């Protein structure tokens, strides 16, 4: 077994040259290490194996045969990408924004533990500090959104997924489908140079909660769910994609 460490700071050309040198009878695992700026490529040489890839985020490993994935994508017209946890790991930046907002409101060092496997949400804020008044709650969430820009440097792209997005951006309709608000989504994507990669972008609405983001996007675009491939990390949103009519085989659960 050979192990190659490919720095995330290498250029795309350098990486593509590295991967292009690999023959189809090599089994490849792309493991994204979000905090180390390193992609680990483990090579298993076996003439009986087809090339396969493992795409990871901070929570799960998703293993697929590359040929099967490319065949699925080739039949699709639209590729839909979630943002948080799929394209970009924003959990730590989100957590830091919340803690900063709480500390600013309380004017003291109130800390709550960071769990990399759980995204800190508005609902969790109420669980951690159940004594918050409605005004305090709204103030913290507003402050959190304002402070988020200060922690963009703590966000990390999921390279295997973003490379797929870029590879198909000229041949497929690329759509962002996120529960993030528009301002946070745009500033995050712009920071990582991805903002101009999308043909359509669907965000969470400020005035009303969108219950099923995939159903909403499919309806708005007036497209056949069978023509869509989804990349998503949240189990609940994978279920939402299925409810929206997207075939199981077209949902890539990261």
pLDDT (tens place) for every residue of the chain, 254 residues total:
333 333 344 444 444 444 343 333 233 333 333 333 333 333 333 333 333 444 443 333 344 446 788 889 999 999 999 999 999 999 999 999 999 999 888 766 666 788 888 889 888 898 888 888 999 999 999 999 999 999 999 999 999 999 999 999 999 999 999 999 999 999 999 999 999 999 999 998 876 788 899 999 999 999 999 999 999 999 999 999 999 999 999 999 98
How far is the C-alpha of 80 from the C-alpha of 198, rounded, in Å?
9
- Nearest Cα to 169, choosing from 48, 87, 66? 87
How far is the C-alpha of 195 from the C-alpha of 176, rounded, in Å?
10
How far is the C-alpha of 29 from the C-alpha of 32, rounded, in Å?
10
| Token representation of residue 68 | 């099967």
Contact 26, 56 (CB under 8 A): no
CATH of 2-88+155-253, one of 3.40.50.2030, 3.40.50.620, 3.40.50.1000, 2.30.42.10: 3.40.50.1000
- Nearest Cα to 183, choosing from 167, 204, 197? 204
- Nearest Cα to 171, choosing from 77, 68, 83, 72? 77
Strand partners, 33: 38
How far is the C-alpha of 186 from the C-alpha of 180, rounded, in Å?
9
Please state the separation of Cα 143 from the chain's center in Å: 24
3-class DSSP assignment, residue 38: strand
How far is the C-alpha of 15 from the C-alpha of 24, rounded, in Å?
17
pTM of model > 0.85: no
**Cβ neighbours, 10 Å, residue 16:** 13
Query: 């792309």: which residue's tokens?
Result: 30
User: How would DSSP label each residue in 100-154?
Assistant: HHHHHHHTS-------TTS---HHHHHHH-TT--HHHHHHHHHHHHHHGGGGGGG
Domain segments of the chain: what residues? Answer: 2-88+155-253, 91-152
What's the pLDDT score for residue 159? 93
Cβ neighbourhood burial of 111 (10 Å; 0-12, 13-18, 19+): exposed
């Amino acid at each position: 077994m050979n192990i190659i460490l490919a720095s995330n700071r290498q250029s795309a050309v350098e990486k593509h040259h590295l991967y292009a040198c690999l023959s189809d009878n090599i089994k490849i695992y792309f493991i994204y290490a979000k905090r180390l700026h390193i992609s680990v490529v483990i090579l298993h040489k076996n003439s009986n194996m087809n090339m396969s890839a493992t795409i990871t985020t901070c929570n799960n490993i998703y293993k697929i045969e590359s040929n099967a994935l490319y065949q699925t994508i080739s039949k699709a017209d639209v590729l839909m990408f979630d943002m948080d946890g799929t394209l970009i790991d924003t959990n730590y930046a989100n957590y830091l924004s919340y803690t900063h907002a709480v500390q600013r409101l309380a004017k003291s060092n109130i800390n709550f533990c960071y769990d990399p496997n759980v995204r800190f949400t508005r609902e969790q804020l109420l669980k951690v500090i159940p004594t918050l008044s409605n005004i305090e709650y709204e103030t913290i969430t507003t402050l959190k959104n304002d402070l988020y820009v200060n922690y963009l440097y703590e966000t990390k792209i999921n390279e295997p997924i973003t490379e797929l997005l870029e590879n198909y951006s000229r041949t497929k309709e690329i759509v962002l489908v996120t529960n993030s608000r528009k301002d946070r989504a745009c500033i995050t994507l712009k920071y990582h140079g991805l903002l101009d990669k999308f043909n359509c972008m669907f965000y969470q609405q400020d005035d009303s909660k969108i219950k099923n983001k995939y159903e909403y996007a499919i309806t708005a675009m007036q497209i056949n769910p069978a023509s869509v491939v989804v990349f998503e990390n949240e189990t609940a949103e994978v279920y939402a994609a299925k409810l929206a009519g997207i075939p199981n085989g077209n949902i890539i659960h990261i």
